[in-house]
């Protein structure tokens, strides 16, 4: 399936793309388009102004997608807190990791295009998920 989002990928788009590729659509293909009007008919838009899979209420796109796809995994919801804080910085969650993760995504843009940033951040989010799963298992 094709998925479309805005260029200049930042934290919420990177996290949402990872969620799509790792939990929703393992064959996902990503496109970067200027606005919703540029999304091809055969693609699903995410984290774009006016699309269904975007910010809703106080939720960032990553949270919206977890709700929409009924993903109740507490580890992914912990990652959602970090993504939320990195994206909107509203202090709703205690997520000290947020500024560092946001800086990492922004720094990758210095030397990489959107698809490269997405792929590199996939590795980061895979590792973050494993880290939190190990922390939970180790705490049990």
pLDDT tens digits, residue range 34-71? 999 999 999 999 999 999 999 999 999 999 999 999 99
User: Any residues with CB less than 8 A from the CB of 3 and at least 6 apart, and which?
Assistant: 17, 20, 25, 28, 29, 30, 31, 43, 44, 45, 46
CA distance 45 to 48: 7
CA distance 140 to 137: 5
Nearest-angstrom CA–CA distance, 140 and 124:
24
Estimate the crossing angle of helix 11-19 against helix 114-139, to 10 degrees. 70
Nearest-CA neighbor of 15 among 137, 134, 97? 97
Give helix then strand counts, H and E, for the chain: 5, 3
Q: What is the DSSP string of 1-33?
A: -EEEE-SS--HHHHHHHHHIIIII-TT-EEEE-
Give the count of domains, the chain. 1
**Residues 7-32: pLDDT tens digits?**
999 999 999 999 999 999 999 999 99
SS3 (DSSP) at 53:
strand
Residue 74 sits in which domain range? Answer: 2-139
Q: What is the pLDDT of residues 121-135, one digit of tens each?
A: 999 999 999 999 998
Whether the CB-CB separation of 57 and 70 falls below 8 Å is answered with no
Question: pTM to 2 decimals?
Answer: 0.94
Q: In this predicted structure, what is the pLDDT of residue 109?
A: 93
């Amino acid at each position: 399936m094709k998925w479309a989002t805005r260029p200049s990928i930042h934290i919420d788009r990177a996290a949402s793309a990872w969620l799509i590729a790792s939990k929703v659509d393992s064959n996902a293909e990503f496109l970067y388009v200027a606005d919703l009007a540029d999304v091809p008919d055969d693609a699903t838009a995410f984290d774009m102004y006016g699309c269904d899979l975007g910010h809703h209420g106080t939720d960032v796109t990553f949270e919206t997608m977890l709700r929409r796809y009924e993903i109740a995994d507490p580890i992914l919801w912990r990652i959602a807190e970090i993504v939320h804080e990195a994206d909107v910085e509203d202090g709703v969650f205690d997520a000290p990791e947020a500024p560092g993760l946001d800086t990492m995504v922004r720094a990758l843009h210095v030397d990489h295009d959107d698809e490269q940033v997405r792929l590199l951040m996939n590795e980061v989010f895979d590792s973050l998920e494993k880290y939190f799963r190990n922390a939970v298992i180790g705490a049990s």
